[in-house]
Structure 1
Amino acid sequence: MKDGEDAEGWKWFLELLVEAIPLLKMQHPDNRCRFCYFTVISDRQKGLIQALQQVFPDNHHWFCPVHIARNVEKEVGKKVAKHVHALPATFSKRESDELMAKINAISARGKKYLEGISANQWRSTAWVDDPTLPPRFGIVTTNMSESVNSMVGDARDGSWLECTNDIVRKMMNRICSLREENYGREGVVDKVAEILENRWKNCSNFQVREVVKGGSQFDVFRPSRGASLPETNRLLDVREQTCECGKWQEHGVPCIDAVAYYRLFETQTLQYIMDNHVSEHYKYETVNELLKENIVPVSLDILDQDGVTLPPNCTKRSSGRPRKKRIRKRSRFAHDPDKSPIVCSRCKKRGHNVKTCVAREQLEKQHPAELDLS
């Protein structure tokens, strides 16, 4: 990136991104939402946050909870981090409060750290409280970036020019293969159809009660299915297509409580549910429309090295490129120092290096339990 990953570098990149894809600033179709249609997920990199506020002031920006959990692990330990993964996934305030109480019992500092992060940028309960926030795709975070990395990771071995060319061609071929694979298919995509079929099978013994006669709210009782799945009640509004579990409004696909309502109260078939109550985004017609256009590759053989658009010496891999494999556990709060490959040259102990040795000694004295050393 130009000038490194600082605010100016990110601003330069994001401005070019908007110029190339103006659709990113498209208005949200739901008038209740106060943000644009596309949201941005980031790891809270400070320069990126500043640049997003300038380039995408009207797009919702939320944080990847996986990165938050990793930061918590570095700060206060793995015992707290394992609860952080569950926090953004639940739409239940009761469950959220219980998780925060568990975190506080382990580390008050960990609870304070999490409360310092804006809830409406990573907690599902905030999406329920604020109807002006956009619907979320992926309760925790999507795996899209990791999937793309696995597909184009080899391209990073070359120069920036060869890397870009390789990525463009792989994306073009990917779109072509998906277009051929889905051509002529209709109805709900197979993955969503499989999910709905499982929900249809598992809701047969649910009980659906009408809250107000002739109204749109229904109470759905789920009987217990063992210690791991105790009995619960969920309130859903079929007119607004919302459920207390949050999944219906989240994904645009009926959750298991909504499927129970349509099956047991409305006596509708599974096929009718898929045809009439699933968002158009999950149908092959939308997929085929999306794949109609493709990325047009550029032949490198016809490009001239003009010094501006294409500078000289652009076929050699530049120094300073980030590693393809990240080095884990380079934390001064390593939880299992005996297994760490890092050895301090000052005290000869494992789990940290000389730069963090003094700070670690001080933290061991102040918070011995939070370091969880054995």
Structure 2
Amino acid sequence: MQHPDNRCRFCYFTVISDRQKGLIQALQQVFPDNHHCFCSVHIARNVEKEVGKKVAKHVHALSATFSKRESDELMAKINAISARGKKYLEGISANQWRSTAWVDDPTLPPRFGIVTTNMSESVNSMVGDARDGSWLECTNDIVRKMMNRICSLREENYGREGVVDKVAEILENKWKNCSNFQVREVVKGGSQFDVFRPSRGASLPETNRLLDVREQTCECGQWQEHGVPCIDAVAYYRLFETQTLQYIVDNHVSEHYKYETVNELLKENIVPVSLDILDQDGVTLPPNCTKRSSGRPRKKRIRKRSRFAHDPDKSPIVCSRCKKRGHNVKTCVAREQLEKQHPAELDLS
């Protein structure tokens, strides 16, 4: 199925994953023509394991910003902390996680502002209790919860029209904050406009963005990324065209953010299956399917600690080899090698 935006060279789906190697290979086989993005939080965790938290704390901002200037400043900060950290991040293809790539390449399919796998993590938390039983009970519980969720959302949104409340609230805030902007027409009768934002203190210096209302793009990157007019576009419609906020909400917000689309999405539901009607014939339902099998992964994940422990003196973990805190015997030798190779990057203070 081709993407509805003719500028996008990829097909309909955009996948955001945690970069698990087996998953990357599977996506290349099952969805070879679709775009694959990486979760910024998982990249940050990998960076933390490689070079520490001081670099990892900049990763999400680097992923989310559309500003090349801010992106360069963040990279300079990262390089000052760890050149190896900068090299690691530059080794990841920019069009799979950095928003600046979406400004440079209009053919990339929209992500609607999603740079993490938070949605799937939310679903995991919703169906996490299902893992307590056997695979059959687990599958049945997940189906039942998803079916009930769709039903409740359908009832909640039934009969509602127009833009969803959250997006309408975001646009209202943009409307209020753009009253002192300046909008200038670049070419008389053209579609490009220069929008000047006055300074609002040291944290928000004055800037100007080039806006193309025909293509619905802005140099800030947010209009084409989110499918919702950015604050510069709202300033254009308010100050240059003297349109109302309701006009913007009704005519310039993507159909994806309207209750009509939500209701269409929720119209179909998952068809439940009663376990009582299934026969253990060895094909439809194998034998011994009601007992939780051994070897199942833990329900609560034990996250890997960073090799670069920040407060070893407060750590309850004591190495049985060297008697120091902050690591165990399995990582003791590797830690000694790291101290010799990269003494400046191992922050034990």
The TM-score by the shorter chain falls in which range? Answer: over 0.9
- 8 Å CA contact 2:4, 2:12 repeated in 1: yes
- 8 Å CA contact 1:330, 1:351 repeated in 2: no
Task: Say yes or no: does 1:198 pair with 2:176.
Answer: no
Per-residue CA deviations over 1:209-244 (Å, capped at 9, x if unaligned) read: 111111111111111112221211111110000111
Distance 1:326 1:339 in 2: 23
CA shift for structure 1 position 138:
2.4
Per-residue CA deviations over 1:88-134 (Å, capped at 9, x if unaligned) read: 11111111111111111100000111111111111111112122211
- 8 Å CA contact 2:278, 2:284 repeated in 1: no
Distance 1:229 1:102 in 2: 19
Pick one of 304, 311, 321 that aligns with 2:296: 321
- 8 Å CA contact 2:39, 2:117 repeated in 1: no
CA shift for structure 1 position 139:
4.5
**TM-score, length of structure 1 as denominator length:** 0.90
Distance 2:266 2:45 in 1: 36
CA shift for structure 1 position 260:
0.6
Q: Would the alpha carbon gap of residues 139 and 96 (structure 1) be closer, same or farther in structure 2, given more than 3 Å must change?
A: farther
**Between the two proteins, what is the percent identity of the paired residues?**
98
Which residue matches 1:73? 48
Q: Would the alpha carbon gap of residues 351 and 328 (structure 1) be closer, same or farther in structure 2, given more than 3 Å must change?
A: farther
Name the structure, 1 or 2, with higher relative contact order (CA <8 Å, separation 6+).
2
- 8 Å CA contact 1:224, 1:231 repeated in 2: yes
Unaligned residue ranges in structure 1 (runs of 5+): 1-25
Distance 1:163 1:241 in 2: 46
**TM-score, length of structure 2 as denominator length:** 0.96
Task: Say yes or no: does 1:146 pair with 2:116.
Answer: no
Distance 2:299 2:176 in 1: 44
Distance 1:370 1:190 in 2: 47
- 8 Å CA contact 1:158, 1:316 repeated in 2: yes
Distance 1:151 1:30 in 2: 33
Distance 1:142 1:160 in 2: 25
Distance 1:332 1:270 in 2: 52
Per-residue CA deviations over 1:142-165 (Å, capped at 9, x if unaligned) read: 521122122111111111111111
Report which stretch shifted further, 341-350 or 361-370: 341-350
Report which stretch shifted further, 326-335 or 196-205: 326-335
CA shift for structure 1 position 282:
0.9
- 8 Å CA contact 1:331, 1:352 repeated in 2: no
Distance 1:290 1:165 in 2: 22
CA shift for structure 1 position 258:
0.5
CA shift for structure 1 position 331:
2.8
- 8 Å CA contact 1:247, 1:255 repeated in 2: yes
Match of 2:345, SS state, is helix
Report which stretch shifted further, 349-358 or 58-67: 349-358
Unaligned residue ranges in structure 2 (runs of 5+): none
Distance 2:153 2:26 in 1: 34
- 8 Å CA contact 2:52, 2:306 repeated in 1: no
Distance 1:310 1:343 in 2: 49
Distance 1:47 1:186 in 2: 42
Report which stretch shifted further, 333-342 or 245-254: 333-342
Report which stretch shifted further, 186-195 or 360-369: 360-369
- 8 Å CA contact 1:330, 1:342 repeated in 2: no
CA shift for structure 1 position 310:
1.8
- 8 Å CA contact 1:74, 1:334 repeated in 2: no
Per-residue CA deviations over 1:153-191 (Å, capped at 9, x if unaligned) read: 111111111111111111111111111111111111111
Match of 1:308, SS state, is coil
